Amino acid sequence: MKKLICILLACFMVFGLVACNSGTTPAPSAEPAQETEKTEPAPAEDKIKIAYCINGTKGDKSFFDSGTEGMDWINRDFGDKAEAVEFEFTYDDTTWKSQLENVFMSEEYDIIIVGTYDMLEMTVELTAEYPDQKVWFYDEQWDFETNPRDNVISLLFKQNEGSYVVGYMAAMASKTNHISFCGGMSNTVLQDFFAGYQQGAKAYNPDIVVDETWMDSFSDSSKGKDVASASYSQGVDVVFACGGSAGLGVFEAALEYPDVYVIGVDGDQGSMWEAAGETAKAEKTITSMTKNVNQGFYDTFKKELDGTLEYGQNYRLGVNGGYVGAAITSTTENVFTPEQLQAVKDVQAGIADGSIVVDTAF
Amino acid sequence: MGVITEIINTISRVVVLPTFYYMIIMSAAPILLAALACAIALKANAINMGTEGIMTMSALVAVLVSSSVGGQAKGGPWLGLVAAIIVGAFLGFLVSVFAFRLKIDIILVGIAMNLICTGASVFLMYVLTGDRTTTTSLSSGTLPQVAIPLIKDIPIIGEILSGHYILTYVAYILVFVMSFLLFKTKLGLRIRAVGENEDAAESVGISSLHIKTIALIISGALGGLAGVFMSECYLAYFSSGLIAGRGFVGLAACNMGSGNPGIIALCCLAFGIFYGFSNFATLSNLSIYALNALPYAVVLVGVVIYSVYTRNKELKRLQGLESEENLEYSQPAK
């Protein structure tokens, strides 16, 4: 018995090692120290070094992957001037602070990119300790009045504007005049999504009922499925699934009801289902509210190169510039008429030129 | 007052919906399976804390096996089911090896099992599929939903009772099977004997080691079934947060029913009622935090009430003995 266990364990480990090595995407090192060893021999003194700190892992198919893509673009287009690496802090939030501290302490990087609400407090502390370290903080409001830092910029995606557009589309697609928002946890960013969504829906049809539901989780897909089932069975026919991988459960629920739709979030989830061969889910996904973190990072880096980036302030990235928007897939084109799609474009243009002012939760 | 009227309004809105009852039955089933897994182990006095981990691992194995043989069309889910039960049973066996042969505290083994399985499942998922959060890129399929003849044609009842996934029915049937196994078979008698008093059982020639191992293997297999329920019935894929504490809720339900399958089923249904309610009531103005905590709070309150009740019963029994037989009990047990 012992032998069997030993052999099994050995097989498991060897297999793990082999599989890791043959992986197509090279896993970046989580240890800043190792990264240093790797980069030191290169004559990279004049290169701008960027550390993208992911407080999670790659492979979420939306937020962090999009940011990683932005890093890849920077490496591809500005490989002679810049070098971007990613650190995955994994989902164990107890280690985030020490890992982030390591990145700061190494003093290897010209720019550290870090973001989301959970990282705000520790970043506020660390940026005070390292006043010469440039930091891009994304996806959460940085209060420059209470925490003035001239080494920090804050990149905020105007999810309310993107949500306005998809809310408008949801109202267009709804036949029951009853749509809902299925959020992860009720924080300000998610509230901002809802504010825009509701306003957009009401702009198309003032009488529409917009329900606000919460899953209270970003990871429990079964909860997402149940909450969405509850909505669908009460006459809701479009749900905006807005909560990380918990939101994926909403798509499962949609499969069980006829004539209902889902709106994806962060990435183009309709195309994602299409690529995964899940056509049934792709056909339920009328659009996705995309948050183009990749574009945001890329353009901000261009500004950094030009020297036009001003530290110590918030940059708000909205529909204007294509940082947020609604993804168009073949399902979108089947569900909406060309005239309706034109109307959506007009709405986007309206937001971009400022003639439509979108509510915000901030 | 506003809150109370809101609660009453919400309840009256929700209780008329057939889908509410459907959700109760559906959401109680995986917890019931987990609780039954804990129950048989508890009866043998071999508490299986690792059910959560066993569920996680077998949920992943089911999806991987199913997709590797070709998914829905090739009968993959069924093979996944078999594989998951085998993996679950093996993990149950592993718990028994560590706890009884290597003499490690069984609670610690259970905790280790949960931690290892949570980590290993993500590791395996990444190594084999390249994904780290969900296996949506694999087409693993689901086990079939069953329409019960006759019942499915009755208007509301059909909607509630028919059309569930096959494992849902299996879960409720297993309540009776487990009762039968524990209280009407030789193995059940031995399991209970070992659980009540190991030395007494040993003295009549029962190997407590064997019986406990068997109980843990059955427990693991049931945990495997609960895992499959999550990844091939509830959802059609595995994700890292899929089990979401259902193994622990099952453990609580099992303790509430002190391993008695009938009471366990009632506890699970009670959890299902409040879980279902919290999902439907999220449309109201009630606090979502309170709503989402509700099912767990109910379990907690239930456990407390039950333990007070059993304690009082025990005290009464002892007092009765004292007065009837004039026996001197200096102190009631426990």
Rounded Cα distance, A156 and A189, in Å: 10
pLDDT of amino acid B11: 87
**A221 part of a folded domain:** yes
Domain that holds residue A210: 159-291+328-353
**Predicted pLDDT of residue B329:** 52
Residues in contact with A274: Cβ distance below 8 Å, sequence separation at least 6, in sequence order:
A282, A329, A330
Residues A62 and A141 both lie in one domain: yes
Could you identify the residue written with the tokens 């979502």? B288
Instruction: Please say if the pLDDT value at position A238 is more than 70.
Output: yes
> In the 8-state DSSP scheme, what is residue A61?
S
**Ramachandran class of A190: left when φ > 0, alpha when ψ lies in -120 to 50, beta otherwise:** alpha
> For chain B, what is the mean pLDDT?
89
Range with the poorest average pLDDT among A31-45, A244-258, B103-117: A31-45
Best of B282, B285, B286, B287 to disrupt the A interface (most A CBs within 10 Å) is B282
Mean pLDDT of A327-336: 90
How many helices (H) does chain A have, and how many strands (E)?
A: 14, 12
Binary contact (A278, B128; C-beta < 8 A)? no
Length of chain A: 362
Say if CB B278 and CB B295 are below 8 A apart. Answer: yes
Going by C-alpha positions, the residue among B90, B102, B104, B101 that lies closest to residue B54 is B90
Strand runs (DSSP E) across chain B, as ranges?
145-146, 164-165
Q: Does A180 touch chain B (CB under 8 A)?
A: yes
Distance CA A210, CA A73 (A): 38
pLDDT tier for residue A116 given thresholds of 50, 70 and 90: confident
- Hey, are the CB atoms on A278 and B139 less than 8 Å from each other? yes
SS3 category, A73: helix
pLDDT band at A274; cut points 50, 70, 90 = confident
Output the pLDDT for position A13: 56
Nearest to A227 among B139, B240, B279 (CB): B279
Query: Is B112 within 8 Å of chain A by CB?
Result: no
Amino acid in position B240: S
> B156 CB near a chain A CB, below 8 Å?
no
The answer, for B284 touching chain A at a CB cutoff of 8 Å, is no
* Predicted pLDDT of residue A28: 43
Chain B environment of A219 (Cβ under 8 Å)? 133, 239-241, 244
Say if residue B266 is exposed, middle or buried (CB neighbours under 10 Å; 0-12, 13-18, 19+): middle
Query: Which residues of chain A have a CB within 8 Å of the CB of B97?
Result: 1
The reply to whether residue B288 touches residue A223, judged by beta carbons under 8 angstroms, is: no
Cβ(B273)–Cβ(B302) below 8 Å = no
The reply to whether A172 and A261 lie within a common domain is yes
pLDDT tier at A8, thresholds 50, 70, 90:
low
Cβ separation A213–B241 shorter than 8 A: no
Question: Which residue, among A236, A276, A269, has the nearest Cα to A251 in the 3D structure?
Answer: A269
A264: three-class secondary structure by DSSP: strand
Residues of A in contact with B133 (CB under 8 A): 57, 59-61, 219, 245
pTM for the complete prediction?
A: 0.82
B131 touches chain A (CB under 8 A): yes
Give B238-283 as a DSSP string: -BTTSSTTHHHHHHHHHHHTTT-HHHHHHHHHHHHHHHHHHHHGGG
Q: Which residue has the tokens 């003499």?
A: B103
pLDDT of B332 > 70? The answer is no
Q: What pLDDT is stored for residue A187 in this prediction? A: 82
Mean pLDDT of B73-78: 88
Chain A residues close to B276, C-beta within 8 Å: 226, 230
Mean pLDDT of A283-306: 90
Q: What mean pLDDT is predicted for residues A330-341?
A: 91
**Partner B contacted by A257 (CB < 8 A):** no
* 8 Å CB contact between A162 and A290: yes
Q: CA B143 → CA B77, B170, B228, distances in Å?
A: 6, 12, 9
Strand order in the sheet with A209-214: A209-214, A178-183, A238-242, A261-266, A285-291, A324-326
Query: Quick check: B221 pLDDT over 70?
Result: yes
User: Does position A38 have pLDDT exceeding 90, yes or no?
Assistant: no
User: What average pLDDT does the segment A345-356 reach?
Assistant: 90
Residue A26's pLDDT band (cuts 50, 70, 90): very low
Global ipTM: 0.82
- The answer on A277 and A180 residing in a single domain is yes
Whether the per-residue pLDDT at A208 is higher than 90: the answer is yes
Q: Is the pLDDT of residue B198 over 60?
A: yes
Q: Is residue A17 included in any domain, yes or no? A: no
Q: For A170-174, A299-303, B130-134, which range has the lowest pLDDT when averaged over its residues?
A: B130-134
| Average pLDDT rounded to a whole number, residues B220-227 | 96
At residue A20, the pLDDT reads 45
Together in a domain, A60 and A152 = yes
For residue A212, what are its two tokens? 């606000």
Q: What is the CATH number of the domain that holds A343?
A: 3.40.50.2300
**Burial letters A253-276, b for 16+ CB under 10 A, else e:** bbbebeebbbbbbbbbbbbbbbeb
**Residue B123 touches chain A, beta carbons under 8 Å:** yes
Pick the residue from chain B with its C-alpha nearest to A212: B283
Q: Helix, strand or coil for residue A247?
A: helix
Give the distance from CA B50 to its chain's centroid: 11
Residue spans per domain, chain B: 27-260
Q: Which two tokens stand for residue A328?
A: 């168009």
Could you tell me which residues are beta bridge partners of residue B92?
none
* Residue ranges with strand state E in A34-177: 48-54, 82-88, 111-115, 134-138, 152-157
Domain count, chain A: 2
**Pair (A212, A338) in one structural domain:** yes
Same domain, A259 and A312: no
Does A217 reach chain B within 8 Å, measured CB to CB? yes
Q: How many CB atoms lie within 10 A of CB B206?
A: 17
User: Is the minimum CB–CB distance between A214 and chain B shorter than 8 Å?
Assistant: yes
pLDDT over 90 at A316, yes or no: no
Token pair recorded at residue A61 = 């198919």
Q: Does A20 touch chain B (CB under 8 A)?
A: yes
Confidence class of residue A22 from pLDDT cuts 50, 70 and 90?
A: very low
Domain match, A285 and A298 both:
no
| Contact call for A19 and B131, based on CB within 8 A | no
A4 — contact with chain B (CB < 8 Å)?
no
C-alpha separations of A123 from A64, A135, A142 in Å: 18, 9, 10
pLDDT above 50 for A56: yes
Q: Strand B145-146 vs strand A285-291: parallel, antiparallel, or unpaired?
A: unpaired
Helices (H) and strands (E) in chain B, counts: 13, 2
Collect all residues of chain A within an 8 Å Cβ-Cβ radius of residue B275: 226
Q: Which of B286, B295, B281, B287 has its CA nearest to residue B245?
A: B295
Q: At B195, is the secondary structure helix, strand, or coil?
A: helix
Q: Mark which residues 115-174 of A lie under 8 Å from B by CB.
A: none
SS3 A180: strand
pLDDT of residue A313: 86
Q: Token pair of A36, please?
A: 């240093």
How far is the C-alpha of B59 from the C-alpha of B228, rounded, in Å?
5
Distance of CA A278 to the CA centre of its chain: 22
Could you give the 3-state DSSP secondary structure of residue B141?
Answer: coil
Indicate whether A19 belongs to any domain.
no
d(C-alpha A68, C-alpha A28), whole Å? 11
| Interface with chain A: mutation pick from B95, B168, B235, highest number of A CBs within 10 Å | B235
Judging contacts by C-beta atoms under 8 Å, the chain B residues touching residue A19 are: 127-128
Q: Is A148 a member of any domain? A: yes
Residue B177 CA, distance from chain mean position: 15
Of B216 and A2, the one with more pLDDT: B216
Say whether both A275 and A286 belong to one domain: yes
Which of A 44-63 lie inside 8 A of B, CB atoms? 57-61
Q: Which two tokens stand for residue A266?
A: 């962060």
User: CB neighbours (10 Å) of residue A278?
Assistant: 20
Residues on chain A touching B279 (C-beta within 8 angstroms): 223, 226-227, 229-230
